[in-house]
Structure 1
Amino acid sequence: MRLVRESQISHRVPEGAVGALCTELFAPLPRSDQRRKGEMYVRGLLSAGGRKSIRNIAACVGDRAAEQSLHHFISSSTWDWTLVREALARRLERTLRPRAWVAHSVVIPKAGQHTVGVERRFVPSLGQVVNSQQVFGIWAANEELSAPVNWRLMLSGGGQEAEDAGDPLECVAGAALEAQRWVGGRPHPVVMDLPDSEPAAVARRFEAAGLPFLASVRGSTGVVPAASALLGPGRLAAASPVLPGRDSREVPADQLLRMLRTLRRPVTWTDPATMAVRTSLVAAVPVRLPGTRRPLVLLGEWNGPGVRPQKCWITDLSAVPWGGLLRLTKLTQRTGRDFSGISTRVGMVDFEGRSFEGWHRHTTLASAAHAVQALTGACAAVQPEARPA
């Protein structure tokens, strides 16, 4: 869970990049005025200074009369934000060629309780209870770039916005499944850090969704060693037991990994903050989670000489080598860096208002602005798809 504060940084990108991407993303909208206002709003998110309020956006891209029009466009209009998100997901699938969907959880402090989704919640990084929203983004990510494609806003009350439920696991799984349906093809693995979700529930939910997953787990998580053996450099295959003499009793994940520390192998990965190549030690073992029969893999990472792993992960990607699994886990750092460096600058956390639909529309357009910024210079050769007549 990441805590963010509103950014006061503005930035600009080439005009042609904004127009090309907006032409493609807003093509599904049926009305020309909706397409025009969508592009106007994105341009304002990219160029307005300070908090990206509708007033600041209107002042940056139009005259004062534009403020009321844009307010209606965000809070009261009828355009379907999922059509724009689908177009964005398809664009990123072509240009970014993501290795995974990464679930990114963010807590956004808000003054007062007059914005949709705001409630009093405990923030561990602050050690106190604050007024805040909690949102979950699904990001298309590779080692060099990442961009959000779908969002859920935590709503403890449920009600008509059933998809934005009060359950983080359901928020992430539902948003990831929707994103995968938009792009089709072979499912991308979903990489996530949901510390308050039961690992067995995560495994069952993603099996039901038909999506591979890689989820962080606490070292105290109980696992049951499965019958398996090492095959080749960092691969697993069904065979004889890895831990001779052990029965099927449940053990803590970090304890099991400590027993396997002699099997650790060095794996290199690229730090998204510095682009420096770093090395971690990793080991993996086949396991089951109590109450499930599905074969899974427990992955451990060591950043130093200690016997206890710094991080533990559970996954159903049993055919992926250890190095590939570790590099997938590092995509969470990629999205965290891009959220702080791009999303907050284009107003992702700046929405104020009671409208649930308004929040989703603003967040969708901020995602488009993020994509423009992230892909500038990387997608010049890709032409926008033709707008339907």
Structure 2
Amino acid sequence: MSTVVHPRSVLSQHGIRRDSRRVPEAQRRGEELRRNREELLERLFSSLTRRDQRVRGEHYLRGLMLAEGRKSVRNIALSLGLPDEEQRLHHFICGSTWDWAPMRAAHAGFLDRLRPPEAWVLHPVTIPKDGEHTVGVDRFLDPRTGRIVRGQRAFGAWYASTALSAPVNWKLFMPRHWMEDEAVRKRAEIPPALAYGSVEQCAADAVLEAARDWGTPRRPVLMDLRGEVNRQSVRRFVTAGLPVLARTTAAGRFVVDDPALLPRSGGLTMSAASALDLGKSARRRVDWADPGGSGGVRTSWVATIRVRLPEEERVGQDRPLVLFGEWRPRQDTPAQVWVTDLAGTAPEDLLKLTKLTRKVALDLRIGADRTGTRDFVGRSFCGWHRHMTLASAAHTMRVLALHGGR
């Protein structure tokens, strides 16, 4: 298990004592980290009016970064050397009344200043759970693995750029039986105003809530239509004025609407793979930096073709669309197929945007998962949201520490 780097260890990590010539640069980075850390803490906890809440918030955030293994309240308290704080920290997360929404908006505002996002990435997360009482637990088919699992379904709205990605909003899908049993709702502390919504609604709301309520910049939404998010969600984003870049299947049906390729057909319905095959001769080579951390440069071939949705799916969708295909070297079939209303965007720029989903998946696995995004165990709906809010901020803090504040 890798060791979490605490901000205070960053200067020694960069070898200040061993090489005096690096002192000015290391000191500058250390000072930048300190300023960013203080700004993030100030923004996060500005909505907490009580000093004891701010203290508990900082303790919990630091414990998420320091605790080894599962980020339970007990492990967090022990990692801080404050075992007597366990009950107070538990109350702060599960029994307090502070609102997580202002804290999430503050986190997004900090990231927007530090690393302006290039896109929203809507990322589903399956959180396996063995017990029956953890909030939102159910048995369901995991669309990523094709297996029946027991656990929670959550959706994270990530602020993503090539330099940094972090989750800033979360939605937890609540199955119908959790929402319709008043006794269960009361035990789980589900807010009375919260109504049942489908998986698709829950997913889209993770982005739409933030875009609507926080005054965030207009950014395209990257999403995956192969799983539990469907084209209804695309229409919701379009209605909200958010461009969409959605991964789809090669078998998805579209109407080719490209006069350069089918000048006399008036539109022909076919699979995405067949439509892209029409424009295969116009493919262009694009070299791209792998966001997976290897630092290597990879090569893909890309092409776009103008399409529209079939008539039965066009309600509310009047923007021009393009299919975007990516081929790997020496492959005849596209490795990825996307549909987007960013019709005027160059193919190489579309490719760069799609790689942000790769960045988010990696950062979830080696970053946010290590600050506790899958570790909350409890009945409290509000507790889950408060924990996820601080786990997301801990992810950002950890990334800043690892990269010297940059």
Specify the code of the residue in structure 1 equivalent to 2:40.
Answer: L
CA distance in 2, matches of 1:270, 1:199: 30
CA distance in 1, matches of 2:215, 2:85: 38
- Which residue in 1 is equivalent to 2:41? 22
CA distance in 2, matches of 1:242, 1:60: 63
- Which residue in 2 is equivalent to 1:278? 298
Q: Structure 1 pair 59/92, CA: closer, same or farther in 2 (3 Å)?
A: same
- Are 2:332 and 1:332 equivalent residues in the alignment? no
Shift of 1:276: 1.0
**Maintained 8 Å contact 1:10/1:50:** no
- Are 2:238 and 1:207 equivalent residues in the alignment? yes
- Are 2:277 and 1:253 equivalent residues in the alignment? no
Name whichever structure is richer in helix by fraction: 2
Specify the code of the residue in structure 1 equivalent to 2:304.
Answer: A
Deviations 1:18-63, CA, capped at 9 Å, x for gaps: 5542222111212111111111000000001111100111112253
- Which residue in 2 is equivalent to 1:386? none
* Long gaps (5+) in structure 1: 1-7, 228-239, 382-389
- Which residue in 2 is equivalent to 1:5? none
Structure 1 residue matching 2:378: 3-state secondary structure: coil
Candidates 32, 48, 65, aligned match of 2:84: 65
CA distance in 1, matches of 2:144, 2:216: 38
- Are 2:215 and 1:184 equivalent residues in the alignment? yes
Candidates 194, 200, 213, aligned match of 1:169: 200
Structure 2 residue matching 1:376: 3-state secondary structure: helix
Candidates 320, 340, 344, aligned match of 1:315: 340
Specify the code of the residue in structure 2 equivalent to 1:341.
Answer: I
- Are 2:85 and 1:54 equivalent residues in the alignment? no
Structure 1 residue matching 2:169: 3-state secondary structure: strand
Specify the code of the residue in structure 2 equivalent to 1:321.
Answer: A
TM-score (normalizing by structure 2)? 0.83
Q: Structure 1 pair 197/223, CA: closer, same or farther in 2 (3 Å)?
A: farther
Structure 2 residue matching 1:169: 3-state secondary structure: helix
Shift of 1:64: 2.9
- Which residue in 2 is equivalent to 1:287? 307
Candidates 36, 52, 59, aligned match of 2:55: 36
Shift of 1:196: 3.7
Q: Structure 1 pair 175/92, CA: closer, same or farther in 2 (3 Å)?
A: same
Candidates 272, 275, 281, aligned match of 1:262: 281
CA distance in 2, matches of 1:68, 1:379: 34
Higher mean C-alpha deviation, range 278-287 or range 198-207: 198-207
Higher mean C-alpha deviation, range 209-218 or range 178-187: 178-187
**Maintained 8 Å contact 1:260/1:283:** yes
* Long gaps (5+) in structure 2: 9-33, 181-189
Deviations 1:329-386, CA, capped at 9 Å, x for gaps: 11000001111111111111100001000000000000010010112376859xxxxx
Deviations 1:102-153, CA, capped at 9 Å, x for gaps: 1111111111222111111223555532211111101111112211100011
**Maintained 8 Å contact 1:123/1:129:** yes
Candidates 130, 134, 154, aligned match of 2:153: 134
**Maintained 8 Å contact 2:252/2:272:** yes
CA distance in 1, matches of 2:344, 2:228: 25
**Maintained 8 Å contact 1:108/1:133:** yes
Specify the code of the residue in structure 2 equivalent to 1:346.
Answer: T
Specify the code of the residue in structure 2 equivalent to 1:195.
Answer: R
Please give the residue correspondences for 1:349-388 in structure 2 after superposition, counting only pairs within 5 Å. 349-376=374-401, 380=405
Shift of 1:166: 4.8
Shift of 1:182: 5.3
- Which residue in 1 is equivalent to 2:31? none
Percent sequence identity is: 44
CA distance in 1, matches of 2:390, 2:116: 21
Count of equivalent residues? 362
Q: Structure 1 pair 248/19, CA: closer, same or farther in 2 (3 Å)?
A: same
Specify the code of the residue in structure 2 equivalent to 1:243.
Answer: L
Structure 2 residue matching 1:78: 3-state secondary structure: coil
